[in-house]
A and B are shown apart, each in its own frame.
Chain A
Amino acid sequence: MAAVRYQRLLMALLLLGAGQLSFAAQPVRINGFISQGYLNSDKNNFLSESRDGTFELSEVGVTINSAPAERLRVGMQLLARDFGKSGNNELRLDWAYGDYRLNDEIGVRIGKIKRPMGLYNEERDSDFLHPLVFLPQSIYDEARRDMLIAYQGVGIYGTLPAPALGTLDYHLFRGGFNFPDDNLMSVGFLETGRGMVKQNNAKPLAQRNPAIPASVAKVKLTNKYIEGGQVILNTRIEGLRMAYSLLRGQQELFFDDSPTPQGELIIRSRAIYSLEYQTRRLTLATEYCETDRDQTMFGVTNQTGRSLEWYGMASYLLYDKLTMTLLYDVYYNDKHDQSGLAHAQRTGKPAYYSWRKDMAAGLRYDLNESWTIKGEWHAIDGAALYATAFNPTGPRRYWDFWAFKASFNF
Chain B
Amino acid sequence: MVSRRAKCLWRMAAGVAILLTFGQAVWGAPVIVVNRDNPLSELTMAEVRQMFLGRTMAWSDGVLVEPVVQRGEIQDVFVGHFLGKSRQQYTIYWKKQLFTGKGLPPPELPDDRGVRSFVSRQRGAIGYIDEQAVDGTVKRIIVTE
Chain A residues near B (Cβ < 8 Å): 22-25, 29, 31, 33, 61, 63, 65, 67, 70-71, 73, 75-77, 95, 97, 99, 101, 103-104, 113-114, 122-123, 126, 128-129, 159, 167, 236, 238-239, 278, 280-281, 317, 321, 323, 366, 369, 409
Contacts and interface: CB of A to CB of B under 8 A. Distances in A.
Contacts of B86: 280-281, 317
Interface string B102-121: 11110111000000001000
Given A95-B101, A122-B96, 7 more contacts: A23-B107, A24-B68, A24-B108, A33-B99, A77-B99, A129-B92, A236-B46
Contacts of A75: 101
Contact of A67 (B46, B96, B104): B104
B13 interface: no
B101 A129 contact: no
23 contacts: A22-B105, A23-B108, A24-B109, A61-B99, A71-B57, A71-B64, A77-B99, A77-B101, A95-B100, A95-B101, A99-B102, A113-B101, A114-B100, A123-B100, A126-B95, A126-B96, A126-B99, A128-B95, A238-B84, A278-B85, A280-B86, A321-B88, A323-B88
B107 A25 contact: yes
Contact of A129 (B56, B58, B99): B99
B137 interface: no
B50 to A, nearest CB: 7
Interface of B: 46, 50, 55-58, 64, 68, 80, 84-86, 88-89, 91-92, 95-96, 98-105, 107-109, 118
Contacts of B88: 317, 321, 323, 366
A113 B89 CA distance: 24
Given A70-B64, A101-B57, A63 B85 contact: no
Greatest chain A CB density within 10 A among B95, B96, B108 is at B95
Contact of A29 (B46, B50, B104): B104
Contacts of B105: 22
A22 B106 CA distance: 9
Nearest to A96: B101
A238 B98 CA distance: 23
Given A278-B89, A366-B88, A65 B104 contact: yes
Contacts of B101: 63, 65, 73, 75-77, 95, 97, 99, 113-114
Contacts of B56: 104
A33 B96 CA distance: 13
Given A123-B99, A238-B84, A73 B104 contact: yes
Contacts of A73: 101, 103-104
A111 B99 CA distance: 16
Nearest to A25: B107
A63 B99 contact: yes
A24 B102 CA distance: 18
Contacts of B91: 369
A278 B88 CA distance: 12
Contacts of B104: 29, 65, 67, 73
Contacts of A126: 95-96, 99
A77 B55 CA distance: 22
A24 B118 contact: yes
Contacts of A103: 57-58
Contacts of B64: 70-71
A236 B103 CA distance: 23
A123 B91 CA distance: 14
- Can you list the 7 inter-chain pairs with the closest CB atoms, starting with the nearest? A24-B107, A280-B86, A75-B101, A238-B84, A122-B100, A126-B99, A123-B96
Given A24-B107, A280-B89, A369-B91, A159 B55 contact: yes
Contacts of A22: 105, 107-108
A409 to B, nearest CB: 7
Contacts of B118: 24
B107 A280 contact: no
B61 to A, nearest CB: 13
Contacts of B95: 126, 128-129, 409
Contacts of A99: 101-102
Contacts of A114: 100-101
B84 A239 contact: yes
